[in-house]
Amino acid sequence: MKQFLDAAVEAARLAGSIQLEYLDREHDVKLKSVSNLVTEVDVKCERAIIDLLSARFPEHSFLAEEGGESRPG
- Local structure of 62: helix, strand or coil: strand
Burial 45-69 (b: 16+ CB within 10 A, else e): bbbebbebbbeeeeeeebeeeeeee
DSSP structure class, residue 33: E
Q: Which CATH superfamily is domain 2-70 in?
A: Fructose-1,6-Bisphosphatase, subunit A, domain 1 (3.30.540.10)
56 contacts: CB under 8 Å, gap ≥ 6: 3, 7
**pLDDT tens-digit series, residues 23-70:** 988 767 777 777 778 889 999 999 999 999 999 999 999 998 887 666
The residues with which 68 forms a beta bridge, in sequence order, are 64
Residue 34 confidence (pLDDT) = 73
The pTM assigned to this predicted structure is 0.80
Please report, for the chain, the start and end positions of each structural domain, with discontinuous segments joined by +. 2-70
Say how many Å lie between the first and final Cα of the chain, rounded: 23
